[in-house]
A and B are shown apart, each in its own frame.
Chain A
Amino acid sequence: MTEATYAYYPGCSGLGTSIEYDSSSRAVCRALFMKISDVPDWSCCGSTPAHTVDHVLSAALSARNLALVESMGLDTVVTPCPSCLTNLRTACHRMEDAAFSAEVNALLDTPFKGTVQAKSLLQALIEDVGLEMIAASTVKPLTGLKVAPYYGCIMNRPPELMRFDDHENPVAMDRILEAMGAEVVPFPLKVECCGASFGVPRKDVVAKLSGRLLETARELGADAMVTACPLCQMNLDLRQEQASRAVGTHFEMPVFYFTQLMGLAMGVAEAELGFDKICVSPARALSLIGSPASKPEGRKATSGGQA
């Protein structure tokens, strides 16, 4: 049906709040000759709420998507979103149990046979494409930019499930950014929680936790933070004024997706990388590497009071 190597699962946020993550991810894959093909008629993975209500229903949501990947004739699905990844991987893992699998498949039109594995885009990039290829594809090195890579709490955890990188001190993004010329600061809070979806019920908690991340990055002299998770990016970027107030300071820390910086280094057209979708202006950070996007076109966070 297709000559793609990977099925691609954008996830709901990829088409909404993190559309710049999605478009930059696609651009990076294209630039690295990674052949991806969207899962046809994919549906929501269940996100955070589903598995808190019913494991079988939650697994069924993911299994439906995994079965679609099987119908594409592919054995690997990549997704940029760690939350989708968790759900897909958890479903794969739980479906190994025959009784559980029977319960789930009873809910599906097409049963999931269990021949698909889910990978984060980050894992596919570092393990399948490799650092050499990534370094070789760099045309505009990120030299001069000091970045603090932030992985969030679920990209590598739980380790038994994710089986990727070090779950306490992951280095995949560090290595990629270094390979592309950026200076990576030894950010100790790589896997600390940003507050995740507590932004709705407990804004104060998120502001405090995200504030600590931003503060540490600033103390280490980082020009920007780099994330791999739509929710982390939103908390750190969109809520930066809330975080500033919680810590009693004023941050101006741009928060990129790692694929945005990768795309930049590979010479991808900036329109595809969506720097204009970032709330905190990346102008200063980008000017450090002499990018045309450095002209102040990034929108400033309008109001800290929303959400």
Chain B
Amino acid sequence: MKIGVFVCHCGSNIEGTVDTAAVARASMDFPEVAYAEDVMYSCSEPGQEAIIEAVRTKGLTGVVVASCTPRMHEPTFRRAVERAGLNRYMLEMANIREHVSWIGKDREANTNKAADLVRIAVEKLRRNRPLTPKSFDITRRVLVIGGGVAGIQAALDCADGGMEVVLVERTSSIGGKMSKLDKTFPTVDCSSCILGPKMVDVAQHPNITLYAYSEVEEISGYVGNFDVKVRKKASYVDWSKCTGCGACMEKCPSKKSLDRFNEGLGGAPAINIPFPQAIPKKAVIDPQFCRQFIKGKCGVCAKMCPTGAIDYKMADEIVEEKIGAIVAATGFDLFDHSKYGEYGGGRYPDVITSLQYERLLSASGPTGGHIKRPSDGKEPKNVVFIQCVGSRDKSVDRPYCSGFCCMYTAKQAILTKDHIPDSQSYVFYMDIRAPGKMYDEFTRRAMEEYGARYVRGRVSMIVPKNDKLLVRGADTLMGTQVEVEADLVVLAVGAEAATGSPQLAEKLRISYDKYGYFMESHPKLRPVETNTAGVYLAGCAQGPKDIPSSVGQGSAAAAKVLGLFSKQKLESDPQISQVNLARCVGCGKCVSTCPFGAIHMIDFRGQEKAEVIETVCQGCGICAVTCPQGAVQLEHFTDNQILAEVEALCRF
């Protein structure tokens, strides 16, 4: 083998603390190294051309690049050696930036360590052999999990691109949090008026299959070929017959079911269609409150239903779908303000959440769009808004900024003045964070045109006083204490990851952070991808976002899916496990440890042997270390190669 070594300066990133020329000189002494040089930027076009040129003129058969992490540029250099006429797997990288120059300041020690890393790479490369990827077919269908605005956008864009879409939503209607909003900032246009048409498009699109009131049960397979099981929860109403007329709701004698759409502000009948624009507009029975289920007799809805759609004996149903790519758009949940004892902790009826206030403002809400406080139905005059309830607060484990609360509070202050002209709004805030287009102008309008009084400081306590609430806080700009007698207090509750996010992440085999938000592949350059091929993210499942960002990311995820599906076939990574049939004793240990189900037992000349399903294998290597016989070897990470690396490092 004739090996070429290219040591990258990475500008001053590496050269600052590593003598790259010395590393190149030292490399010349390593076995089978025929050529070595240091390069200013090996990933640049001239840098790559230099590698290609050297391969051609010096007749190299393998290349080592000592530079940054392979996660950043391994594909780049693989393409370069391929252009030079070599097999792309005849390349090894030594990470002398993250592992050397960025972590140590001692130039001499760094130079020695870099040379050691190059020696390791050379020893590994000497045992590489050309690999050829296999290609496999793709199922051109996409699963979108979550029917909020991000999921809707992703589903519509994929469907418009000609792909078949399966949209799974766990509540009985799509629309998500946005459908509960009255108006949107900073344009103050009606939320359901701009979302409604999109929801209808989902319902009518020939390429979209909508499973509402359903949850993803199980996911197996790999990019291009996922097998997904979806649990359609029992609604106790035959949706093929239900016309959404609502006769059942009117006559239902139980009105105590939790009105989830109105954030618990009013009671709902036990059989319920959440809101007039619901998609699908179908009824669902809540068995916790239905008298037929509790007492075993009632049946009013069944008698009232003109189409005979009620079915008390319905059971959950599992449907299986073949899927090629997945978009996770599961959204967020609101912070539970009962953790704040000083704000009443859920004890005072007139201390409500921002989303509850949104329902009070909405014409389709429980008060028909009239602001009435929950305790006595009176119209409030003094409304106090408290920001950062459950965001930017380490004491409740929510140190992050939810990002949209400043804006929706300004919007609600404006709407309050519109609804009740003689009202006065107070906003207690920490900072105003309004960085979007027309955002800062909007918050200023709330202060300047609508006269909302912004007080910079936190509220220390809310105390009921007669029929009012005494809100005590600090004005940190004035350096004084402030007391406001409020008729209604609205808490700008922050966002947190949707319930069940970690569990779904486990099913999807993607990472999530300590708060339960899904992790993107790279925070800057791969913001909609995950580290699992074929799984993409959209909306607040990744972290709090406002509507424009959620819609933008929904479209971005759709673009990624369409890009993936534009290929005729996908290539599998050839760095996978191989079974040496002569050594395999058929113990089956590898089968039980493989997390991807990529190994199965076969009958080979009358003996049981293990076999790797190449397209399923992810190259993790667990089987290789499990095998007691050493019969399973991971291509390019064989026992021999790893031992050679260790020996190169311990050569003294």
Contacts and interface: CB of A to CB of B under 8 A. Distances in A.
Given A169-B345, A169-B347, A188 B340 contact: no
A169 B341 contact: yes
B459 to A, nearest CB: 12
A146 interface: no
A167 interface: yes
A186 B466 CA distance: 13
Interface of B: 340-342, 345, 347, 461, 463-464, 466
17 contacts: A166-B341, A166-B345, A167-B341, A168-B340, A168-B341, A168-B342, A168-B345, A169-B341, A169-B345, A169-B347, A186-B347, A188-B463, A188-B464, A189-B463, A192-B461, A216-B463, A219-B466
The 8 closest A-B pairs by CB, nearest first: A168-B341, A169-B341, A168-B342, A188-B463, A166-B341, A169-B345, A188-B464, A189-B463
Nearest to A189: B463
A167 B466 CA distance: 24
A188 B461 CA distance: 10
A169 B463 CA distance: 12
A189 B463 CA distance: 7
A229 to B, nearest CB: 19
A192 B464 CA distance: 14
B650 to A, nearest CB: 38
B536 to A, nearest CB: 41
A166 B396 CA distance: 13
Contacts of A166: 341, 345
A138 to B, nearest CB: 27
A167 B342 CA distance: 9
A168 B462 CA distance: 11
A281 to B, nearest CB: 28
A249 to B, nearest CB: 16
Instruction: Point out which of A166, A167, A188, A219 has the most chain B C-beta atoms below 10 A from its C-beta.
Output: A188
Contacts of A168: 340-342, 345
A192 B465 CA distance: 15
Contacts of B340: 168
A193 B559 CA distance: 59
Interface string A165-182: 011110000000000000
A217 to B, nearest CB: 12
Contacts of A188: 463-464
Given A188-B464, A189-B463, 11 more contacts: A166-B345, A167-B341, A168-B340, A168-B341, A168-B345, A169-B341, A169-B345, A186-B347, A188-B463, A192-B461, A216-B463
B470 to A, nearest CB: 9
A101 B341 CA distance: 35
A98 to B, nearest CB: 26
A126 to B, nearest CB: 17
Contacts of A189: 463
Contacts of B345: 166, 168-169
Contacts of B342: 168
Nearest to A188: B463
Contacts of B466: 219
Contacts of A186: 347
A162 to B, nearest CB: 14
A188 B343 CA distance: 10
A167 B341 CA distance: 8
Nearest to B466: A219
Contacts of B347: 169, 186
Contacts of B464: 188
Of B340, B463, B466, the most chain A CB neighbours within 10 A belong to B463
Contacts of A167: 341
A233 B463 CA distance: 22
Interface in A97-137: none
A220 to B, nearest CB: 9
Interface in A135-175: 166-169
A221 to B, nearest CB: 13
Contacts of B463: 188-189, 216
A305 to B, nearest CB: 29
A104 B340 CA distance: 37
A219 B463 CA distance: 13
A168, A192, A216: which has the most chain B beta carbons within 10 Å?
A168
A198 to B, nearest CB: 16
A188 B462 CA distance: 8
A61 to B, nearest CB: 30
A216 B461 CA distance: 15
Question: Which among B341, B342, B345, B461 has the highest number of chain A CB atoms within 10 Å?
Answer: B341
A186 B345 CA distance: 13
Nearest to A186: B347
B480 to A, nearest CB: 16
Interface string A187-221: 01100100000000000000000000000100100
Contacts of B461: 192
B427 to A, nearest CB: 22
A166 B463 CA distance: 16
B87 to A, nearest CB: 59
B342 to A, nearest CB: 4
A214 to B, nearest CB: 14
A216 B464 CA distance: 10
A166 B342 CA distance: 10
B465 to A, nearest CB: 8
A216 B465 CA distance: 8
Contacts of A219: 466
A168 B460 CA distance: 10
A186 B341 CA distance: 13
A168 B466 CA distance: 21
Contacts of B341: 166-169
A225 to B, nearest CB: 16
Nearest to A215: B465
A188 B340 CA distance: 13
A166 B347 CA distance: 14
A188 B466 CA distance: 12
Nearest to A168: B341
Contacts of A216: 463
Nearest to A190: B341
A22 B342 CA distance: 31
A211 to B, nearest CB: 14
A168 B463 CA distance: 12
A186 to B, nearest CB: 7
A219 B342 CA distance: 20
B472 to A, nearest CB: 9
Nearest to B342: A168
A189 B464 CA distance: 10
Nearest to B470: A188
A103 to B, nearest CB: 29
A168 B464 CA distance: 15
A168 B461 CA distance: 9
A188 B345 CA distance: 11
A167 B345 CA distance: 12
B378 to A, nearest CB: 20
Nearest to A167: B341
Contacts of A169: 341, 345, 347
B541 to A, nearest CB: 32
A186 B465 CA distance: 12
Nearest to A220: B464
Nearest to A159: B395
A169 B344 CA distance: 8
A129 to B, nearest CB: 25
Nearest to A166: B341
Nearest to A156: B341
Nearest to B341: A168
A204 to B, nearest CB: 16
A170 to B, nearest CB: 9
B241 to A, nearest CB: 50
A187 B592 CA distance: 60
B79 to A, nearest CB: 54
A304 B347 CA distance: 37
Nearest to B348: A188
A169 B341 CA distance: 5
A187 to B, nearest CB: 10
